[in-house]
Structure 1
């Protein structure tokens, strides 16, 4: 069995070399313009240690997800963290698939939260074509990793014949159910 997590630190926080420590070090302002903006396409604003060095060693990060009407965050995984999604505007249909290949889905409204277990394939979808939606996701890692299945499968050079065989097998299996 393999496990991965953020390392425990031996101090209150980690200071990058040459940094000045004041309240600004612990403040991230990169999400200010999100709320109130017009959402034209699906987008994710990540706030991990890469964008916010003050998070280094704290084992937390977040992302703000913006969905236009009909927008989708395609199937993906986070190998190093569970995700706690909080709907702050609109509604979302969400789901994940466990290791027994069982699909769990839910329709969420403003104020609802949903947890996606670490490493499991999951998605979010705004089925309302007339309204946008916004959600905030919290993670138990400063570097969650994101593996987008469509990108991983179709944009990384896997041979087309291999992909065609895979799709054929999946299609055949779904017809047997």
Structure 2
């Protein structure tokens, strides 16, 4: 164990978590704050609550990604994964290109795993790639369907419609933050996480 590298890795993981949380804050609750549904403080509280609950409840399930592709990582490998991911994410921010941290982090894990010859979970990799390709297509289709359903079945009473939209947007803001906590933050936390080794009596 390299304590200095482990410490730097924890710092990088925290920095990545802060960057992702801040970057997604506007996406999660910018609408409800900008429209005046809630004030800035309440919007941030909703987002933070979603982040923390998502990370604590669903986040540990994302540890499987690192454990599957890199079951015996070293301190150097942990540091390189987090550093490369941060550089990629910063590059995306500087060039104003939409970038998924989950994909960048998974890609760096795969790269390190391939470099050291530890890449064996090809079936899990195929499953991830299928979801990466299909998710934007399915999301686009759902967007079209939901707009059509809204046009057809939306309440004609304007005040009822606005009330439903307000409640729905607040719920979706929380759920968006929850997904960010469980997905991105859970994946980040899983990189430096080391499973306790069973003691041999």
Q: What is the TM-score when the length of structure 2 is the normalising length?
A: 0.22
Structure with a larger share of its residues in helix: 2
Structure with a larger share of its residues in strand: 1
Q: What is the TM-score when the length of structure 1 is the normalising length?
A: 0.24
